[in-house]
Amino acid sequence: MTRSSVLLSLVCVLLGALAYYSFFWLNGLLFASLEFSSGVNWVFLPAGVNLLLVMVLGPWAALGLTVSAAFIKHQLFPEIDLLNVAVNGVIAGFGPVLAFWLAKHFFRIDPTLKDRSSKTLIQLALLFSVLSALLHQIWFAYVGQSQSILSDAPVMALGDFLGTLIVLYILKLTLFLAELIQNKSN
């Protein structure tokens, strides 16, 4: 690896970590009243941030997301063992990478920003949300942290889906407005 590629990778890791950490706490400020159960929210913006960052910055961002999610889990629940904290981080950070792989290989969805159609955004958001919620809830059930996987998993999937749609459509609107401004200036 060249020095510039190492630096770029470190920047992606740092951006991933800072973005997830910031949006996690922003989500708490905006949607605290919409918490269904501990760790399960009706709207979860960090899910959208995870997907977006992996779409834009690639797997290095996933490493930053992993570190940040593990750090938050440890902050909120210091009594939980480090393996549990680490697995939670890996699920949060690499869930979007797995969703992209599935989208590309099995569903023929182009998981890039080249196709910003509503259909593609909704498909990616849905695939990622269901996958993330299932992985988290299976782990939580395995370690005895889920009160009810049958009620928590669908709510977590819906919250991740809504948070992802909000983030992706804010991006889509921003890109649309940028194109309009650019076309007007030309």
179 pLDDT above the threshold of 90: no
pLDDT value at residue 112: 63
Q: What is the pLDDT of residues 4-24, one digit of tens each?
A: 888 989 999 999 999 999 999
Q: What percent of the chain has pLDDT over 90?
A: 55
pLDDT of res. 176? 86
Three-state SS at 138:
helix
pLDDT at 103: 87
Q: Tens digits of per-residue pLDDT, 93-145?
A: 999 999 988 988 887 877 666 666 788 888 889 999 999 999 999 999 998 88
State the sign of the Cα–Cα–Cα–Cα dihedral 93, 50, 14, 1. Answer: positive
CB atoms within 10 A of CB 163: 26
pLDDT of residue 21: 95
On average, the pLDDT of the chain sits at: 89
- What is the pTM (predicted TM-score) of this model? 0.89
pLDDT tens digits for 29-68?
A: 999 888 887 777 899 999 999 999 998 888 999 999 999 9
What residue ranges do the domains of the chain occupy? 3-185
